[in-house]
Amino acid sequence: MKVKLCGMKSVEAAQAAVEAGADFIGFIFYPPSSRNVSPGQAAAICDRIGYKARKVGVFVDEEIHRVKAIAELCNLDFIQLHGHEDAAYIRQIRQPVIKAVRYHEGLSHRMIDKLPADLILIDAGNDLQPGGTGKPFNWQQAAKDIRRIQHSVLIAGGIQTSNLQQVWDTFHPYGVDASSGLETNGVKDVAKIREFMQEVKCINATEAATKEMVI
């Protein structure tokens, strides 16, 4: 199970995340978000962490020229689109794309599989907040719909150390995306980051051992 830790705003938190083994580090370029960072801030953090993890820029219905400019400045490895971006928009982006989709009952896996994205992120979200609500969607209801998606899937929405095993047992996803569950008073907590990544390692080790037994 891969891990994306999102909403990074400090070198300390980002370094803690990569040192603990995170696969992706996310930076939010969306001013209404409390986790928004300026391109300059993100570039400075990206400079410090180098190539230890894949750097992801998160955008919401942003002008394509600004996405491209920030991607170049920060040397981003992935672009995450969290708004209403369509296939034509996605095709204009050079980097691999993570397309976020809000879960709702009757979610069409056929429509999702038509998107020219490299990864699909399933999140909660609502009309006022496209993501980062810190609340899970209905996992049990969603499991059947999500298993039908052909793309590799990241699960987001209220994920923290205490429910990580449940996420794995329910979806067996390609990966998870965590943010608010790693914070204390709205700030990334290094201890929570380390605890979360330790739980990930335990789950991955158990899964690897189970596969060896089956073989």
163-184 per-position pLDDT tens digit? 999 999 999 999 999 999 999 9
On whether the CB atoms of residues 201 and 165 are closer than 8 A, the answer is: no
Domains and CATH numbers, the chain: 2-214 (3.20.20.70)
Mean pLDDT score, 6-16: 97
Q: Using alpha carbons, select from 97, 145, 95, 93 the residue that is nearest to residue 121.
A: 97
Express each pLDDT in 15-32 by its tens digit: 999 999 999 999 999 999
Q: Cβ atoms within 10 A of the Cβ of 95, count?
A: 19
pLDDT above 80: residue 12: yes
- Quick check: is 123 catalytic? yes
The catalytic residue among 6, 46, 74, 177 is: 6
Residue 55 parent element (H or E): strand 54-59
Whole-angstrom Cα distance, residue 75 to residue 166?
Answer: 34
The catalytic residue among 77, 123, 169, 189 is: 123
Express each pLDDT in 40-59 by its tens digit: 999 999 999 989 899 999 99
Kindly report the pTM of this predicted structure.
0.93
